[in-house]
Structure 1
Amino acid sequence: MGLSLAGDLATRGIRSLLIEKTDGTILQPKMDMVGVRTMEFCRRWGIAEWVEQSPYPRDYPQDNVWLESFTGVEFGREPMVSKEEEPLPKQSPQKRERCPQDMFDPILTRFVRQFDESTIEYETELQSFTQSAKGVVAELRHKNGTLETITADYLVGTDGAASTVRRALDIPMHGQPVLTYTTNVIFRCKDLPSLHDKGKAYRFIFIGEEGTWLTIVAIDGADRWRLSYVGSQERRTLEEADIHKLILRAMGKPFEYEIESVMPWVRRALVAETFGKGRVFLAGDACHLTSPTGGFGMNTGIADAVDLSWKLAAVLDGWADPALLESYTIERKPVAVRMVTEANRNLKRMLATRTKAPDPIAFDPSPEGAAARKAYGDWYTETMRAEWYSIGIHLGFNYYESPVVCPDGSDNPDDDVSNYVQTGRPGHRAPHAWLKDGQSTLDLFGEGVTLLRLSADAPSTDGFGAAAGERSIPLTIHDLSAQGAEIHDLYGAALVLVRPDGHVGWRGNVVPGDPGGVLDTLRGANPSQAAILPPDLPGEEPHVDLRFEDIESFAGRDEEVRRRG
């Protein structure tokens, strides 16, 4: 999240210092799916091709398989084509990509290092900070032990589950502090698929008579694999002998492998009460912790960064009111609650086998066993499908209730996990459509506020242009009226204002009597509606204030990782 924020700020001409207390090495890749919305951001940043050309093999099948063991019976699978073969969705100029964290982070680092505005300092740790009405003063400790005091206009904590910044702000988290105690193991095995008959696949879900107990994913499509012992709400520490037994059970026969690293972590469902105080903000795992079932966590964190970035830049550049920053929590917290809630549903789907475990006959090679396996596999395949097809989660979030959006009284479309119908409703992501020159409409957004003229008989846009000039708002006007009626119908109005983050801020068929008032709303100087407090995540404990020593997270600190030869 820090790299995404630094890079997006740099594209807007804003200087930043990014500090990281480790040396940047990724020992345990905790994500590998770059969602479609994140890829749209990468497209705007000019690095989409870098992600597409990462070392992950584009011809590697993405099947999801449920099985007893690699050499045991298979219950079923969701066949999924390779990234090379997967078509673009009709709703986007990009598609989701497979790019593990130890490949994706170097791409973001390369992106950030392009800019003179960005500085990255590794092995540097935040010790403390204070803030005032004028800015933030922070004390940093470098690797050699020296202390440095710096001043900044704002501070953003993208420092993970055990966030020092969140604790210093005394911001509690709400939800469920423990879903499962899980252990991840990275192991190497050359040409693992040749040792069994299940073929190449992205994810294997292992089901025994106790239900789902283990998953293995292909990290790099070559020789690195991530084993996750799912666990339960009962804390359990796995010794090395235990891990070897798990690997052996998963294969079903002895084989050669090398354990690279082991990381215990706690699967949580938590969202911070607020995403900042004063001039200090939180993003990513620092303000929302989720089960990785669905691949939503990193992608939601990057969307946090983009939402916060344009607002910080607008305030620092002087064309937005500082009140614009108050909309960050209002907009992003409901998105986090929605994401964490769906990830929980996916976890429950995956663990549904624990209350509906296979009948013992399903493990038998007999015809009766084959019939039982098929029935069970068909049920589980249907149960799991929502996790594999989730474009609605990635594109369907919206900011309609935000005070820096102009509502138009239109109905909220259905929030469907697996399908997404594009809409130009205020607060929603501006729809994608292909233009006659081969560009996407999304390629028109990002640098400032964008005004689209979508009908030949639409009124003059001079009023918006003059009002923007008076307020020093960077406004770009695109006349797309010659592109055809399809885009007009998609956006639902003749005139549409799109914010720098690509979300619709206002739409209408006539220029309002006070176009400056509309722009004032978008820049935080004239809120459109009273701030609506975002919901807290429901859970077993309504108020959870986690301290540093309580947290083991998928973010994982280096000292929590045990390296093995």
Structure 2
Amino acid sequence: MLKRKSPVLIVGAGPIGLSLAGDLGWRGIECTLIEKSDGVIRQAKMDMVGIRSMEYCRRWGIVPWVEGAGYNRDYPQDCAWVTTLNGYEFGREPFPCASAEPCPPQSPQKRERCPQNFFDPVLRRFAERSTLATLRYETELLSFVEHAQGVTATVRNLRTGELEDIDACYLVGTDGGASTVRQALDIPMEGPAALTYTTNVIFRCDGLEQLHTMKPAYRYIFIAAEGTWATLVAINGRDQWRFSLVGDADKRAYSDEELRAAIVRAVGREFDFEILSVLPWVRRQLVAQRYGTKRVFLAGDAAHLTSPTGGFGMNTGIQDVVNLSWKLEAKIKGWGGDHILDSYEIEQRPVGLRNVAEATDNLKRMLNPRVKQPPQELFDNTPEGARARTEFGNAYTEMMRREWFSIGIHLGYMYENSPLIVPDGTPAPADTVSTYTQTARPGSRAPHVWLDKDVSTLDLFGTEFMLLRFGDNAPSGEGLITAAKERKVPVKVVSINHAQAQAAYERLLVLVRPDGQCAWRGDSDPSDPQYVIDAVRGALART
């Protein structure tokens, strides 16, 4: 049997596994990534790269790759709720096209439309760029054994049948909802097993916009006498569409004829189209009880399964791996403390619980009781029907805004009670969804401020700890610098004379982690700098 060694073995080459391989390589860490499929995306399971994920793409230098990946960035991003595309429109939430949408004041980036069939190749290119990631498709994990020094995994080449053992210091399961890694660890998932049984159909139709009476939109929600029953999404902003037959908690299969009839019903007329792929799937609200062991970790759908309503799933998974990656680097390079990897679950599992719950609430709003049995006059071609549609549409539009405007979910997560965070005694800010106020409170994402044209404070973070000194009267931070050097913790000092940045960070000294989270802050050098450095590098047990 063949044998090889790798510091990190990643199982599953979807966007989460590819992001982890890319980030590790960006940090100078070798890894091996295996994937049992051929890597071709036949059903795009996501289409929105969230604002925090785009901040990571900025850090990695791949924003132009995302923007140029293939989605029509001039296509409207409106969301509309209708009877059919040739029927009545209840309402819509207008948004600029991706090429014209401005960045919000809280970030140097904005969300991007980049479906998985475009985004995965971008991330694969990123993973391959460092030359430190070995990508092996059509390779299946058979088993693994965890021991004191690491993990020994047995894998099989599905093309040749050849078996191989891989010795790794760490293994990360990014292998989806049916995770082989999670099952091998016997980690149960908590939450409702099935919210809806949904069927996705990707179809091609040139010029669909000319076949109906609605203004173009990125997403349509279809409401009929039985309630909300389907959605339609512009999957490339050109000629490909994803139709989702929402279903309910009862599992059933649909024939091609039934699916074609449902698409025709949604459009409201007969027309020619080509079905490219069909994918039945289950909306779930599940979070793993544990995110791993000493040497084996779960990330992405292997750790949390969520309804796509809100676009939190993949983006939460990318946050998982950015959180985990620098900690793996710290252990492999020798400066990470004994408890640094324990903090991964402590920090990310509450975020997973929060985001999964919000996605389910979004689904409930889309399928809210009023829409399950809408009043019949909504569908009548009468003055009373027109008034009912206006009233219903206004209420539905207002209700759905929580899903469309969710910057607080993407940027406002907080790592409370983490052993790697040194609290400053200030109260936690409100955990909001539709709004977000930046803060440098320890445990929060470091604020964005433009320091110069096209230069954000966020551009400082990523490869090491950053000690920010604000203003001419800032303390030296010499104690922290000395303590970091003694522990071989990489830290860089940056002096910033910028009034807006100083106001945003609120203290004269702020220590920011490699993942961009504030770890400590103060207006004077800490009385025990060694304690601060030992805390942020994970050398102290959680109390």
TM range (shorter): over 0.9
Q: Note if contact 2:228-2:372 (Cα within 8 Å) is conserved in structure 1.
A: no
Match of 1:4 among 19, 34, 41: 19
Deviation at 1:73, TM superposition (A): 1.2
Within the alignment, does 1:64 sit opposite 2:79 as a pair? yes
Q: Note if contact 2:78-2:219 (Cα within 8 Å) is conserved in structure 1.
A: yes
Mapped partners of 1:270, 1:154: distance in 2:
25
Match of 1:509 in 2: 523
Consecutive unaligned residues in structure 1, runs of 5 or more: 531-565
Match of 2:426 in 1: 410
Q: C-alpha deviations, 1:463-505, integer Å up to 9, x for none?
A: 221111111111110000x222x21221121100000000000
Q: Note if contact 2:228-2:371 (Cα within 8 Å) is conserved in structure 1.
A: no
Match of 1:246 in 2: 262
Match of 1:489 among 503, 506, 516: 503
Counterpart residue type for residue 506 of structure 2: G
Deviation at 1:418, TM superposition (A): 0.6
Counterpart residue type for residue 414 of structure 2: N
Q: Alignment partner of 2:340: what SS?
A: helix
Match of 1:131 in 2: 146
- Which structure has more relative contact order (CA 8 Å, sep 6+)? It is 1
Q: C-alpha deviations, 1:146-184, integer Å up to 9, x for none?
A: 101110100000000000000000000101111011111
Between the aligned residues of both structures, percent identity stands at: 57
Match of 2:108 in 1: 93
Q: C-alpha deviations, 1:74-113, integer Å up to 9, x for none?
A: 1111111101121110000000000000000000011111
Bigger mean CA offset, 209-218 vs 433-442: 433-442
Q: Note if contact 2:471-2:498 (Cα within 8 Å) is conserved in structure 1.
A: no
Deviation at 1:526, TM superposition (A): 2.1
Within the alignment, does 1:524 sit opposite 2:542 as a pair? no
Within the alignment, does 1:500 sit opposite 2:500 as a pair? no
Deviation at 1:54, TM superposition (A): 2.1
Within the alignment, does 1:394 sit opposite 2:398 as a pair? no
Q: Provide the alpha-carbon RMSD of the alignment.
A: 1.1
Mapped partners of 2:371, 2:131: distance in 1:
56
Match of 2:301 in 1: 285
Give me the TM-score of the superposition, normalised by structure 1: 0.92
**Paired residue total:** 527
Deviation at 1:436, TM superposition (A): 3.1
Match of 1:149 among 165, 169, 188: 165
Q: Note if contact 1:311-1:324 (Cα within 8 Å) is conserved in structure 2.
A: yes
Counterpart residue type for residue 60 of structure 1: Y
Match of 2:213 in 1: 197
Mapped partners of 1:6, 1:517: distance in 2:
32
Mapped partners of 1:50, 1:19: distance in 2:
23
**Residues 238-387 of structure 1: pairs in structure 2 closer than 5 A:** 238-352=254-368, 355=371, 357-387=373-403
Counterpart residue type for residue 57 of structure 1: N
Deviation at 1:444, TM superposition (A): 0.4
Bigger mean CA offset, 366-375 vs 310-319: 366-375
Mapped partners of 1:465, 1:407: distance in 2:
19
Mapped partners of 1:447, 1:438: distance in 2:
20
Match of 1:24 in 2: 39
Mapped partners of 2:368, 2:87: distance in 1:
21
Q: Note if contact 1:88-1:94 (Cα within 8 Å) is conserved in structure 2.
A: yes
Counterpart residue type for residue 508 of structure 1: G
Counterpart residue type for residue 377 of structure 1: G
Q: Alignment partner of 1:435: what SS?
A: strand
Q: Alignment partner of 1:154: what SS?
A: strand
Aligned in 2, Cα 1:355/1:371: closer, same or farther, shift over 3 Å? closer
Deviation at 1:239, TM superposition (A): 1.6
Counterpart residue type for residue 382 of structure 1: E
Deviation at 1:391, TM superposition (A): 0.4
Q: C-alpha deviations, 1:27-46, integer Å up to 9, x for none?
A: 10000000000000000000
Q: Alignment partner of 1:186: what SS?
A: strand
Match of 2:5 in 1: none
Runs of 4+ in 1 over 4 A off after TM superposition: 353-356
Consecutive unaligned residues in structure 2, runs of 5 or more: 1-15
Match of 1:35 in 2: 50
Aligned in 2, Cα 1:438/1:74: closer, same or farther, shift over 3 Å? closer
